[in-house]
């Protein structure tokens, strides 16, 4: 069962780029990586999902090296509203089940 | 409509009470989920319904009883809860099922904050 490891917390300032790395050393061939964002007292919100190389959407980019043992969520030019907890999930595209297990998450604090 | 709604927002109940949490989505999603989240912890999966049938039960105590009356509704019936069951209960839905790449894009509701006295 692929387990994820993330930094517990990170601090940044408005306008900076933030990179949050997730380790998943036991990732299997069929596993893909998904990131969620959660604000206090709200449900998590899907950010981005990828399998290899690089994925970009209007909110973030996801970088996955060739060995896929880690992935990096990149948030360009963060603002105060990006202060939240970010979760990395790894799941089997065939069963989907492991994709439902949230890791411990990274608490991002953005300062003015 | 891209929302998952949950009612009530807050619930306080005694250990002998029976109450229900309600979740609704009108996105035509085929899977619905219940999660439990304690303070400063990640959400923990409790149940998954696929096509209105229970497909995953993460060994949840029987004092929690899920129900899926139709494809848009998901209930969680609560009975004889313990104070340690106090938490934020999150409902989610997804378009895809296990095996679909879209499976992971879950849409979460705002949650019900439950306090058991």
pLDDT of residue A94: 59
Q: Kindly report, residue by residue over B86-110, the tens digit of the pLDDT.
A: 999 999 998 877 545 545 688 999 9
The alpha carbon of residue B41 is apart from the nearest alpha carbon of chain A, in Å, by 7
Is the pLDDT at B21 greater than 90? The verdict is yes
Q: Kindly report, residue by residue over B24-80, the tens digit of the pLDDT.
A: 999 999 899 999 999 999 999 999 998 899 988 888 999 999 999 999 999 999 999
User: 10-residue block means of pLDDT along chain A (112 residues)?
Assistant: 84 97 86 91 92 93 95 96 95 63 92 96
Q: Kindly report, residue by residue over A40-72, the tens digit of the pLDDT.
A: 989 999 999 998 899 999 999 999 999 999 999
Please, which residues have CB within 8 angstroms of residue B75's CB and are 6 or more apart in sequence?
B20, B21, B22, B23, B66, B67, B68, B69
CA max distance for chain A: 43
Q: Give how far Cα A19 sits from Cα of A10, A62, A77, B36, Å.
A: 9, 9, 11, 28
Residue A34 CA to residue A26 CA, distance in Å, equals 16
> How many Å from the N-terminal Cα to the C-terminal Cα in chain B?
36
| Residues of B in Cβ contact (< 8 Å) with A34 | 104-105
pLDDT of residue B117: 94
- Cβ–Cβ gap A96/B98 under 8 Å: yes
From the list A90, A98, A88, A66, the residue with the least C-alpha distance to A20 is A88
- Cβ–Cβ gap B98/A87 under 8 Å: no
pLDDT of residue B60: 95
């Amino acid at each position: 069962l692929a387990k994820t490891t993330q930094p517990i917390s990170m601090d940044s300032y408005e306008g900076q780029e933030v990179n949050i790395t997730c380790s998943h050393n036991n990732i299997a061939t069929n596993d893909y990586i998904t990131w969620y964002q959660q604000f206090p007292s709200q449900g998590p919100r899907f950010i981005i999902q990828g399998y290899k190389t690089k994925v970009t959407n209007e909110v973030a980019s996801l970088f996955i090296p060739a060995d896929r043992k880690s992935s990096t969520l990149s948030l360009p030019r963060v603002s105060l509203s990006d202060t939240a907890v970010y979760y990395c999930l790894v799941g089997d595209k065939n069963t989907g089940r492991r994709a439902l297990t949230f890791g411990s998450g990274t608490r991002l604090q953005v300062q003015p | 409509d891209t929302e998952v709604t949950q009612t009530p927002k807050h619930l306080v109940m005694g250990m002998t009470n029976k109450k229900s949490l309600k979740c609704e989505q009108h996105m035509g999603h085929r899977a619905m989920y219940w999660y439990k989240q304690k303070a400063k912890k990640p959400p923990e999966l409790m149940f998954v319904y696929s096509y209105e049938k229970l497909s995953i039960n993460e060994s949840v105590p029987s004092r929690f009883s899920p129900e899926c009356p139709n494809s848009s509704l998901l209930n969680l019936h609560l009975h004889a809860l313990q104070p340690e069951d106090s938490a934020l209960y999150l409902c989610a839905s997804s378009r895809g099922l296990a095996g679909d790449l879209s499976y992971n894009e879950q849409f979460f509701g705002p949650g019900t904050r439950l306090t058991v006295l």
